Amino acid sequence: MGRTGKFFAHEHYGIRPDIITMSKALSGGYIPIGAMLCSAKVSDSVFSSMERAVVHSSTFSTNLMAMVAGLATLHAFDEEGIVEHAAVTGDAWFAALQPLVDKHEYLHEVRGKGMIIGLVFGEPSSIAGRLRYRAVEAMRNALFSQLIVVPLFHRHQILTQVAGDNMNVVKLLPPLIAGQEEIDYFTEALDDVLTTAQKGSGNFFEFGKTLAKASLRQRR
């Protein structure tokens, strides 16, 4: 909802889906809610008569609290220009992060749309960098991205996430109300973490220390 700079991502590509499912974003994450949007053709096929009108139902469907939360969220989107803000701010995110691709050899690409952003990491060109990268990847495929996620959180209190298993892609999903202050803070933090990674094995030790602490807590 709005994250890509359009209300729905399919609007960027001229697609007209038959069915769209929505959930927690519809209430800003505060109230459990879900919705299913469909074309008239699908709706008429499923709910073609009163006998078929209850073919799909739920105990908690259309409850008043969820509906009020959904309407309030949609009202905020309109009143505060959330979708338009995401489009403009998304461009600012890419403008701030792109120079880091040229500065740091581990960062290969910044991709995405609006305020859904992927940082793509890969093998660097320098010999020393390649050796460090391959040593990390030899332990587990796509482990390098964790060496970015962990220090971002520990040093800078920034919560990020790897985009998927066996992928050296870190995804950024900043709040839709984030602005230039948040962009500057994150860019400086990522620059710091990548600088450490380029200099040596500091990120690896930081990651190892985190795993060791977690293991000790579990044993207790």
| Residue range 54-68, pLDDT digits in tens | 666 677 777 889 899
The reply to whether 90 and 159 lie within a common domain is yes
Q: How confident is the model at residue 207 (pLDDT cuts 50, 70, 90)?
A: low
pLDDT at residue 205 is higher than 60: no
The reply to whether 62 and 116 lie within a common domain is no
**CATH number, domain with residue 175:** 3.90.1150.10
Are the CB atoms for 103 and 97 separated by under 8 Å? no
- Would you state the pLDDT for residue 93? 97
Q: Which residues, 6 or more positions from 85, have their beta carbon under 8 angstroms from its beta carbon?
A: 176, 177
Q: Which residue has the higher pLDDT, 88 or 51?
A: 88
| Residue range 135-165, pLDDT digits in tens | 888 888 889 999 999 999 999 999 999 999 8
| Residue range 7-38, pLDDT digits in tens | 999 999 999 999 999 998 999 888 999 888 99
Query: Which residue, 40, 57, 79, sits at the end of a domain?
Result: 79
- Would you state the pLDDT for residue 182? 97
- The predicted model scores a pTM of 0.82
The reply to whether 47 and 122 lie within a common domain is no
The reply to whether 68 and 177 lie within a common domain is no
Query: Residue 36: which domain range?
Result: 9-79
What is the total count of domains within the chain?
Answer: 2
The reply to whether 140 and 163 lie within a common domain is yes
- Would you state the pLDDT for residue 215? 47
The reply to whether 67 and 135 lie within a common domain is no
- Work out the average pLDDT over 175-190: 96
Distance CA 25, CA 32 (A): 10
Query: Which residue, 79, 99, 123, sits at the end of a domain?
Result: 79
In a domain, 185, yes or no: yes
Q: Residues 199-220, buried b or exposed e (16+ Cβ, 10 A)?
A: eeeebbebbeeeeeeeeeeeee
- Would you state the pLDDT for residue 194? 93
- The number of CA neighbours under 13 Å toward the Cβ of 5 is 15
Pairing of strands 169-172, 161-162: antiparallel
Q: pLDDT exceeding 70 applies to what percent of the chain? A: 88
